[in-house]
Amino acid sequence: MTKLLLSASTLVTALGAGRQATLQALREERCGLEPCAFAEVTGGHVGRVHGLEEAGLGEAGAGEAGAGEAGAGEAGAGEAGLGDRFAHFDCRNNRLAALALRQDGFEAAVRAAAARHGAGRVAVVCGTSTSGILSAENAYRARDPASGLLPAWFRYDGSYDLFSLSRYVAERLGLEGPAMTVSTACASSARAVLDAAQLIEAGVADAAVVGGADSLCRLTLRGFASLELVSPERCRPFDRDRRGLSVGEAAGFALLERPDDVPEAANGGIVLSGAGASSDGFHMSSPRPDGEGAVLAMRAALARAGLAAEEIDHINLHGTGTRANDLMEGHAVRALFGDRPVACASSKGLTGHCMGSSGIVEALIAALCLEEGLLPRSFGLVDPDPEIPIRPLTETRSAHLRHVMSNSFGFGGVNVSLVLSRAQA
């Protein structure tokens, strides 16, 4: 696989906006989960990004007033008063994406890449699982009682439509290359990274903005609750007494380019060195217990990176905190890595499970750890489950890292594994 430089990156989670806020939270082991009180849904904890109700979609300071439906259940005034050319994209999910795009000098880095390659040679590949479904939920509640018609402010193509996210990102950044949205449940944005890399390898694009966003909505919160997968307390991945997941929301983006096309190595000189995917074909919502599909994805990522398992210094585990998923992943990691202890942890105890955006967000967290030589503990893990044959870290420490892996597994048996490396490793 052609190694691709992460020449810029940015993320927003419940831990804060931007790379430095995230790194500080990791060092301080500061949890972003809070009791759920979103859109009339209560119970459990969520990783909520605050301020989206007031956020806008345009450039910072440029006509960002407006109500919209981006809040926690308001019927909303829709696009009226938003006052910018992105008004038809107004929804919580795109506001979350906008907040991420404004961080870490990301927009300037993309403009520079577009100048190098041409706007038509920069692709946009985004992952999301529910897109702006909150807008449809609010629109349905605000429909005309006599006719049943949805309110005039509701724009399906700018919110609920899965392609809305990629269209918004492309238009916001002035990019004219291939654009697509990947929706493969909780592996969506990890799969988007793989697909973007293939576009560059195939010569369809010279660079790609890749990432994803998934925001809180009633469907996700109540859907996981109906499956009895929501923990009443903060999630505790890999713990003996884990009781389920905590839902989060997040957005993250990276700019992928061939290292030789970038004047100066940016972002710590981190490259995407390998990516692999598989499909269990086992069950709509349960993972294959023996973890064979996860093993295939990890093995493929290692093969494309040209690495052996023992060269991986850290794994950001998918680690949701559910009984079946954590046990499956433990068996998969043990099957591939053997008896050699490998440093690993789940970051979902800090951010919550950010659904379709978790793949890119956790890959970027892994990249931060790689840059900073940080091995974070698996937050929420107190008493490791003896049935799980791996031992995630219970203390944060420093170490020199060369290669890290990030796992993402989704409903429907979708498995994706990414390998990130130091450019000079």
Q: Which residues are catalytic?
A: 186, 318, 353
**Rounded Cα gap, residues 183 and 380, in angstroms:** 29
Long-range Cβ contacts of 136-142 (<8 Å, 24+ apart): 136/160, 137/39, 137/217, 137/218, 137/219, 138/69, 138/73, 138/74, 138/75, 138/76, 139/69, 141/75, 142/75, 142/76
- Contact between 89 and 165 under an 8 Å Cβ cutoff? The reply is no
Cα-Cα-Cα-Cα dihedral sign, residues 163, 361, 425, 391: negative
Residue 121 per-residue DSSP state: G
Q: How many CB atoms lie within 10 A of CB 146?
A: 6
**Rounded Cα gap, residues 92 and 39, in angstroms:** 12
Question: Considering all CA atoms of the chain, what is the largest pairwise distance in Å, rounded to the nearest integer?
Answer: 66
**Rounded Cα gap, residues 187 and 66, in angstroms:** 32
Q: What Rg do the C-alpha atoms of the chain give, in angstroms?
A: 20
**Rounded Cα gap, residues 10 and 270, in angstroms:** 14
Query: Could you tell me the two tokens for 95?
Result: 């506001």
Q: How many CB atoms lie within 10 A of CB 264?
A: 6
**Rounded Cα gap, residues 37 and 44, in angstroms:** 9
Q: How many CB atoms lie within 10 A of CB 2?
A: 13
Burial of 272 (0-12, 13-18, 19+ CB in 10 A): buried
DSSP assignments along 255-293, one per residue: EEE-GGGSSS--TTTEEEEEEEEEE--S-SSS--TT-HH
What is the DSSP pairing of strand 270-279 with strand 314-316?
unpaired
